[in-house]
Chain A
Amino acid sequence: MKKVKQLLLILIFCSFLIGCTETKILERISLATLIGYDVANENDENVTATVIIRQVSPDNKSTLETQTNTEATNQGTRIKVNLQTAKKMLAGQTHTILFGKNLAERGLEEPLHGLMMNSELSSSIYLAVVDGDAKPLIEGNYKNITDIGQHVYNLIDHNVQRQHTVSSTLHEVVRNNYSPLRDLAIPIIKKEKDIIKINALAIFAGSKMVGQLTSEEAFYVIMLRDKFKAGALELKLPGDTLDQEKNTDEKLHVAIDSIQSKRTIKLVDKSTPEYDVEVDLACRIVELHSNANVGKPDVTKKLEKAIGKEIEKELKRIVKYTQEKNSDIFGFGDDYYASVRNSNLTEEKWNELYPNAKVNFKVNIEIVRNGVFE
């Protein structure tokens, strides 16, 4: 009995040793924080990866370095990068992954699959497309940006949180990619001298990038895809909205914020197909370039109507654009599948249906309050 106990004790101590397997001591590893992929060569499959690597050194300073390599697979590039660095590279701290525009146009199917297979990466990292190639953006010198990996992540993260651009976590992108009836939308970022900015929104058909929307138009995309919890928008209304004497060409500028919206999509005719989309939107006026008294009910009503009309117009235009590109980023196909029984809807069938789909909009605006000064 005593012997068994001793043996067990030894075994248990051995199991505590599990804590000593595969140590990853911060000073002895380097962390990839930002990865960019580009097409290396028009003719072959190879992909150039540019990696920002952060190295933490014992004297409390961390250094950044950039490594670039070309290989067909992620792991292949990784081996090559390891050959160039003094410390083992790990990818667990990667928060953002960038794709060059050329790669996005060639198709993101394989890169996305590779990212999902890797258990090191969390599926909550952000993806973005770079206008041009990713490499110059990552390697560029910026006056005010010390850590570009963190900077790009923060840039995308806060804009996603404030709903200024479409959320593009790896999970959401992969989800839409594998859903045959819905297409991707990923923000485009661009280097402009000393700053990096979110420039536009890339839209995809299948997994290939086919077009782009401006970042103002991204607002409407979010409105149709999801609900707003806190959005902001600037609109140009026709000049005669509040003042009959002015003519239509003069624009009345309005800015609204604290937008809360909810949309309902209803399939009314499944042969065309035809949708009724109703958007309920509550907001607050923060800026109005007019002297009209917004406190008056009839003025508010006029404004509400004009804003609603303007939004309807924009929505129509954007949906039309995606139809031309055959990129269903709003998930109309999913709605079709969800509301029609035994539809046997396939990707090919939906690709034929979507460009001809008819979408009717109805936007109900409610101006809840205005600023502190009338």
Chain B
Amino acid sequence: MKETLHISNNQKINAFLLFFIVTATQIGVGIHGFQRVIYQDAKQDAWISVILSFLLAHIVVYIMMKTLDMYDSNDLYGIHIDIFGKYLGNFLNILYIFYCSSAFFVIVKNYTEVINTWVFPYLSSMFLCLSILSIIIYTFKGGFRVIIGICFFSFFFLLWIPPILIIPLKYSDLNYLLPILDNELKGILKGVMSMSFTIVGFEIINFVYPFLKNKTKYKRYVHLGMLFTLFLYLSIMFVSLTFFSGEQLMKTIWATLTLFGFIRLPFIERIEIITICLWMIIILPNLCLYMWAAYRGVQRMVNISVNKFLLIFSSIMFVSGIFINKRTDINLLNDWFGKYAFAVVFIYPFILFLCALLKRQIKKMQVSNSEKS
């Protein structure tokens, strides 16, 4: 279709980098405590919920890519305008920009909360927020390719997690996984919904798509990236389910961190403190890409310079961060965002796909009609 984005070749990236982009955006703050939320619904079958949610995610991402393939080189914002026209399209764009911004906000808030609880209880969360924002602005100014480079590096900061999980495995009891499928299907499906907060991130391909060099063979990298995340989430889920007893898991707010807290290495006694600080590098690409996606949308609607956007965006984030500080507020925010993300990421792509199909059909008919007459 007609609208295309023109990206110069030196801005484009290799398709295989999508693997790192997808894993980097999927793995964020959710991994710290997703076990408890899912356990509440699915009990000992929580790992089935994890698998099912990834199955659903693979289907969704396939539909997303199908929609993107209908256009030569365009991102979601352009597709919206093409399908729904200027006004409705822009309205949807605003909703999506809002989604990206709230994802950004949720990540910052959750991370500062973890730091405040585990490492520096007396440090003002405003100061933390400010320093995180300054690092992100610095990265963001480097441009798209720098952000992708951070994605690439942050991946290697994740690789130490699976081997270190072997240590708590010694204390695990397989009985806690049994009996399999003893709960109602409803609970497991509810668990799938609760996963949405942790699993989202792959929707970023909607915006990265026009920047790909080779658009024919990119799908496999997206799926591979998601498989890696599945592997990581599933191994953490299995270890947590067998390591904690049910009631205990429900009471543990950040089960992954408590799990790390148990590990004692000869040269360092509390590795979770280091893990938390290291996590900055893991959430950095997350934050940058969401900010970047929001910027792409804003730029389409109003002519705005990068500096101005950064200033406005970060001040909004900073100011709204002042109001939400209590744990209860953050929990409410997470719940709300989980639902919003489920609607935006898991349901909306299907609607969009149908609309795109319909639009193409109508166009075809119009073309054949005009040929006849």
Partner of A92, one of B138, B173, B244, B270: B270
Q: Are B261 and A178 in contact (CB under 8 A)?
A: no
**A208 on the B face (CB < 8 A):** no
**A331 on the B face (CB < 8 A):** yes
Q: Are A123 and B176 in contact (CB under 8 A)?
A: no
- The distance in angstroms between the C-alpha atoms of A182 and B138, with both chains bound, is 53
Known contacts A8-B141, A119-B117; A334/B176 CB under 8 A = yes
Which stretch (B33-41, B231-239, B245-253, B322-330) binds chain A?
B245-253
Q: Mark A117-147, 1 if CB is under 8 A from B, else 0.
A: 0010011100000000000000000000000
Query: How many whole Å from A154's CB to the nearest CB in chain B?
Result: 14
Query: How many whole Å from B210's CB to the nearest CB in chain A?
Result: 27
Q: Are B175 and A338 in contact (CB under 8 A)?
A: yes
Known contacts A123-B261, A171-B262, A339-B178; A14/B134 CB under 8 A = yes
Known contacts A14-B131, A341-B179, A342-B182; A175/B245 CB under 8 A = yes
Q: Are B134 and A11 in contact (CB under 8 A)?
A: yes
Query: How many whole Å from B118's CB to the nearest CB in chain A?
Result: 5
**B300 on the A face (CB < 8 A):** no
- The distance in angstroms between the C-alpha atoms of A124 and B258, with both chains bound, is 10
Which stretch (A15-23, A51-59, A74-82, A278-286) binds chain B?
A15-23
- The distance in angstroms between the C-alpha atoms of A334 and B246, with both chains bound, is 11
**B87 on the A face (CB < 8 A):** no
Closest to A121 in B: B261
**B335 on the A face (CB < 8 A):** no
**B156 on the A face (CB < 8 A):** no
Complex contacts, A179 vs chain B, CB 8 Å: 245-248
**B269 on the A face (CB < 8 A):** yes
- The distance in angstroms between the C-alpha atoms of A179 and B177, with both chains bound, is 13
Q: Are B248 and A174 in contact (CB under 8 A)?
A: yes
Complex contacts, A119 vs chain B, CB 8 Å: 117-118
Which chain B residues (118-176) contact chain A, with CB distance < 8 Å? 118, 120, 122-123, 130-131, 134-135, 137-138, 141, 171, 173, 175-176
Complex contacts, B263 vs chain A, CB 8 Å: 124
Query: What number of A residues sit within 8 Å (CB to CB) of B?
Result: 35
Query: How many whole Å from A259's CB to the nearest CB in chain B?
Result: 18
Query: What number of B residues sit within 8 Å (CB to CB) of A?
Result: 36
Query: How many whole Å from B258's CB to the nearest CB in chain A?
Result: 6
**B307 on the A face (CB < 8 A):** yes
Query: How many whole Å from A112's CB to the nearest CB in chain B?
Result: 10
Q: Mark A178-222, 1 if CB is under 8 A from B, else 0.
A: 111010000000000000000000000000000000000000000
Which chain A residues (221-237) contact chain B, with CB distance < 8 Å? none
**B339 on the A face (CB < 8 A):** no
**B264 on the A face (CB < 8 A):** yes
**A312 on the B face (CB < 8 A):** no
**A176 on the B face (CB < 8 A):** yes
- The distance in angstroms between the C-alpha atoms of A8 and B123, with both chains bound, is 22
Query: How many whole Å from B63's CB to the nearest CB in chain A?
Result: 37
Q: Are B247 and A338 in contact (CB under 8 A)?
A: no
- The distance in angstroms between the C-alpha atoms of A172 and B247, with both chains bound, is 13
Q: Mark A1-18, 1 if CB is under 8 A from B, else 0.
A: 000100010011011001
Complex contacts, A15 vs chain B, CB 8 Å: 131, 134-135
Identify 13 residue pairs between A and B in the complex whose beta-carbon atoms are under 8 Å apart, listed by A's number: A8-B138, A12-B135, A12-B138, A14-B131, A15-B131, A22-B120, A122-B264, A178-B245, A179-B246, A338-B175, A339-B179, A340-B179, A341-B179
Q: Which residues from chain B sit less than 8 Å from chain A, CB to CB?
A: 117-118, 120, 122-123, 130-131, 134-135, 137-138, 141, 171, 173, 175-179, 182, 243-248, 251-252, 258, 261-264, 269-270, 307
Q: Which residues from chain A sit less than 8 Å from chain B, CB to CB?
A: 4, 8, 11-12, 14-15, 18, 21-22, 92, 116, 119, 122-124, 169, 171-172, 174-180, 182, 331, 334-335, 337-342
Q: A12-B134, A169-B262, A178-B251 are in contact. List 9 more A-B contacts (CB 8 A).
A: A22-B122, A123-B258, A123-B261, A124-B264, A175-B248, A178-B247, A179-B248, A331-B175, A335-B175
**Nearest 9 CB-CB pairs, A to B?**
A338-B178, A11-B134, A178-B247, A179-B245, A15-B131, A178-B248, A338-B175, A175-B245, A123-B262
